[in-house]
Structure 1
């Protein structure tokens, strides 16, 4: 069997049985999920120089257990012979690798996906990073299945997690964090000010300079917050997230807006065709002036504004979610649309630069980097999440699944 199919069958078997199985139970579950008959599960073939009869499939499963044990994914239940269980829970339906462990989950010609915590991995991974694009878990009052820290803990937690990654940045590198401003104080329509505290901490503790607070307007966001907008009617519908863009050296920042120019509007195209403005005008106390011929030069496109309008209803994400449901795995519940990291990567990097995502999730940043011929590296603590992310790279050049080797 292919390693991916074996891993999927094993993982699903443990998930369906509260994370714990005897070896015999595992053999039966895998046979059922991989459509293996009794002959395949019980046939013996000679192994090694001695030619000792062994069952190849059961042997592979035991090898997987030992590899998973070394990676911190699986552990033997003390005092119970032949009983194994998944390790720490990351949240509902998710299991996370133990903090001291990390393992290469899968790779492509351009990228590496590592099962492990970002602070542990990047403190040992010596690689020059030009851009971090990530959507870390928000400090929600009701945690999602991947787990969340509290609003009070968030700033300390994320600065500790990011510090080893920041140390790997090349001069002029950028950091882009998708951060929700829609976090409310307990039983109150007042918003948390953790966003403001976070920006100050990123500057004061990690030495980053603020380039911009980009706004991602989610054009298909449902009405929220339900309690304060739809029921109590004291808030407006929240439709945007911030993308905090920072750099470790603003004077040498690698951004270039010519890489992301947008097509001219029809009106602007007509203006260029007609030779520009025909009027004279002065606005904002003389700060802006219009003269005949203004805006008449031929250009490659329009400089984008710092409000990015994108629907979260992304075709690529929808395909990923269908695949997860078909596999019986929980899809990531808060993924970015693919177009968002693609825009940021084009703006802030050149080909061959390395893009990092310390909270890899469903792998959207890596997939965007792959499509733009950028190198990439991502870390993720949840076993199921990185398994699901791997399905988005199976058609990438040089794809290999390593978790069972």
Structure 2
């Protein structure tokens, strides 16, 4: 049912069906233990991908069946973070409601007790034009350039600390802190701003729930939290992609952005907390968790993707103490 492909100083990757592994091995040994479950499950795409994806009602039933499984594994103050893209109706230039129905199904599942804490939007202008038929061929729609990131939990107050994910101050805010002068008083919104409201240096400004992986306005500096890397999937200078190119490995086509994982790892967990990614792909989550000294477990059904992810932990800067188990012929 499960096969451990490799382990590191802080975690391990299991190969197999994530639902079966979660319902048996994880439920037995890690019930209510995970401080963060973060993942990007297969999207409900109309065209089949190598990494596997369902459609329509079949996808919905599979997706909401995850709710009680994840709830069982989460610590009482733990968080569930899911990234998911938009869906489109087959052969129609009409956006599907499937991803929204999946969200409602998760938080309304009677056996899970989940609630939506906050939604984030991840904007990536480097995404290829999609859906291609209606964007580049017929030119009826605009480019679908963002994904949804849903933060859910079993409690209204999951562990979180936004002071750990501050954005750099803007140039104008830096000047304000230096001069200690700004236009206080009543605003058109009827908010009354006191003379001392913005004079304290807190080390940065509070993060927004919109992530710009590249700048929307070229004249404005992107101010992502310090631990969120400003890069898109087109950048090829990280260790994983360099190593894949050197080794003739085709990278996983739907890698979760490491900046997102860094952000939620810092925001929602502490050192040595336990993180799970049940749809690991190239195991970006395990890599980020290792970097931030979090315990982690990752599950990947595709043996090739699982094996290819080993190269992440060969990064000499990580010092991961990688131990590979190839008894099963992988």
Under TM normalisation by the shorter chain, which class is it? 0.7 to 0.9
Report what 2:108 is aligned to.
204
Post-superposition Cα deviations, 1:124-175, rounded to whole Å, max 9, x if no partner, equal: 2222100011011111111111111113222211232453333111111111
Shift of residue 294, structure 1, vs aligned partner: 3.1
Q: Give 1 or 2: higher helix fraction.
A: 1
- Please tell me whether residue 160 in structure 1 is matched to residue 65 in structure 2: yes
Give secondary structure in 2 for the equivalent of 1:106: strand
Shift in CA distance, 316/378, structure 1 to aligned 2, threshold 3 Å:
farther
Post-superposition Cα deviations, 1:247-270, rounded to whole Å, max 9, x if no partner, equal: 11123x111101101111110011
Shift in CA distance, 402/317, structure 1 to aligned 2, threshold 3 Å:
farther
Q: Is the 8 A contact 1:118 1:358 kept in 2?
A: yes
Shift in CA distance, 341/351, structure 1 to aligned 2, threshold 3 Å:
same
Report what 1:295 is aligned to.
198
Give secondary structure in 1 for the equivalent of 2:254: coil
After TM superposition, the score normalised by the length of structure 2 is: 0.85
- Please tell me whether residue 193 in structure 1 is matched to residue 113 in structure 2: no
Post-superposition Cα deviations, 1:80-126, rounded to whole Å, max 9, x if no partner, equal: xxxxxxxxxxxxxxxxxxxxx21111001100100111122122222
Shift of residue 299, structure 1, vs aligned partner: 1.5
Residue ranges of structure 1 left out of the alignment (5+ in a row): 1-100
Shift in CA distance, 349/314, structure 1 to aligned 2, threshold 3 Å:
farther
Post-superposition Cα deviations, 1:361-382, rounded to whole Å, max 9, x if no partner, equal: 0000110111111110011111
Please point out which of 238, 242, 250 is paired with 2:156. Answer: 250
Number of residues paired by the alignment? 301
Structure with more relative contact order (C-alpha pairs < 8 Å, separation 6 or more) = 2
Q: Is the 8 A contact 2:239 2:312 kept in 1?
A: no
Report what 2:79 is aligned to.
174
- Please tell me whether residue 273 in structure 1 is matched to residue 174 in structure 2: no
Report what 1:224 is aligned to.
130
Larger Rg: 1
- Please tell me whether residue 110 in structure 1 is matched to residue 7 in structure 2: no
After TM superposition, list the pairs within 5 Å mapping 1:361-400 onto structure 2: 361-394=281-314, 395=316, 396-400=319-323
Report what 2:164 is aligned to.
259
- Please tell me whether residue 404 in structure 1 is matched to residue 308 in structure 2: no
Shift of residue 330, structure 1, vs aligned partner: 3.7
Q: Is the 8 A contact 1:314 1:337 kept in 2?
A: no
Report what 1:184 is aligned to.
88
Shift of residue 322, structure 1, vs aligned partner: 4.6
After TM superposition, the score normalised by the length of structure 1 is: 0.70
Give secondary structure in 1 for the equivalent of 2:123: strand
308-317 vs 394-403, greater mean Cα deviation:
308-317
RMSD: 2.0
Whole-Å separation in 2 of the counterparts to 1:321 and 1:298? 38
Q: Is the 8 A contact 2:126 2:234 kept in 1?
A: no
Give secondary structure in 2 for the equivalent of 1:301: coil
Post-superposition Cα deviations, 1:213-244, rounded to whole Å, max 9, x if no partner, equal: 10011132233322222333332222110011
Shift of residue 390, structure 1, vs aligned partner: 1.3
Whole-Å separation in 2 of the counterparts to 1:104 and 1:225? 37
